[in-house]
Each structure stands twice: as structure tokens, then as C-alpha cells.
Amino acid sequence: TIDPVAAKLLAFKSNQFNDASGFLFPGADPSSGGQFVLSKAGTYTDDQFTANYDREFHNSADKISARFFFSNFESVLPFGAGGLTATLGGTISQTDLNFPLDLPVHDRFFSIAETHLFNPRLVNEFRFGYVHIDNKAINKPIITVDDLGINRPNNNLFKTIYKFTFSTFQLGPTPGADQ
């Protein structure tokens, strides 16, 4: 007999591959020679700005400089980010059929510097900086452990199923990252 989790996985309906009546594991039309070609658009939004301030005073004996950088962007990848190597910046393989991945990034950078010139041979400089990087890799699960009846110790933390890697393709969630 087939395992009940495997039966649910193979029978699960999903529109991930542009077919609302399609299955989670895609199949190729036998008349096409086994080739499976798929395209689905991702989305990307970006808001960022940089502000600079420089001012000299006390007859150029003092200078204040400040910099601020703000960035909010989000990228939704319909087929995820591949395996761990792709998550860490490697290329995505054409055989990756991963679940959608949302990549929100919220970065902030601030620095301030004060320079005081006592004389041509004596200078004092004070610098302060703050960097906040908030990057996440959020899987958008098409199917969850609850859908399949998978029982594991971390179900209360992660609802994504395991990634399945076969000889010619992989399917499932991208390894999550929360930095």
C-alpha cells in the first residue's frame, strides 16, 4: 500500500503551474516528447533614497558630515530561489520548480562625523554609524504539513513541507532565511 502522506501529496491540486486543475507535481504532455516548459512572472518593488549633509563652520576649523540610506524592496519569485546555493547568491537552475518565495528587505544606514582642525598638524575626528539590515526569505507554502498530515516536532514553527529533489528536478520550499 502507498503511504497516506505520499498519496495526499500526489493527489494535491495546485495552480502553481498556471493550471487551476493541475497537480502539485507537474506532468508533461506525452506527445511533446517529455519536455515541460513553464513561465510565470515575478514581481519586484523598490523604494530607496539617500540623504547627505556636509557643513563647515568656525572658519573651516570644524566640519560635520551626515549620511542616511533607506531601502525597502520586495521581490516575489514564483518558483522560489532554488536550493541553498541559490539562496546564498548562486544561480537558479532551470529545473527548480520550488514554491513561491517572498523576499522583503528593509535596510537602513546612518553615519555622522565631526572633524575639528586644531592646527595644521593636529586633527580630531569623531565618527558614529548605525546599520540595520532586515532581510527575510518567506516561503509562501502551496501545501503545508497540515494538508498532508505530516507530524513532526517543529510543526508549530514551520508549516512548509520538505523539499523533494529528484535526479532531474526539485520541488518544494526554498530553505528559509531570516536575517
pTM of the model: 0.61
Whether residue 80 contacts residue 101, with contact meaning beta carbons closer than 8 Å, is answered with: yes
35-59 pLDDT, tens digit per residue, is 666 677 788 899 999 999 999 999 9
What CA–CA distance (Å, rounded) separates 87 from 176? 8
Q: Phi/psi zone of residue 48: left (φ > 0), alpha (ψ -120 to 50 degrees), beta?
A: beta
- Chain centroid to Cα 125, Å, comes to 38
72 has pLDDT over 90: yes
DSSP 8-state code for residue 30: G
Q: What pLDDT is attached to residue 118?
A: 93
The answer to whether the CB of 139 falls within 8 A of the CB of 99 is yes
Kindly state the average pLDDT of the residues 76-102: 66
Condensed to tens digits (0 to 9), the pLDDT of residues 13-27 reads 776 666 666 666 666
| pLDDT given at position 111 | 98
What mean pLDDT is predicted for residues 90-96? 62
Confidence of residue 178 (pLDDT cuts 50, 70, 90): low
pLDDT at position 36 is: 61
179, pLDDT greater than 80: no
Q: Coil, helix or strand for 82?
A: coil
For residues 27 and 166, the answer to whether their CB atoms sit within 8 Å is: no
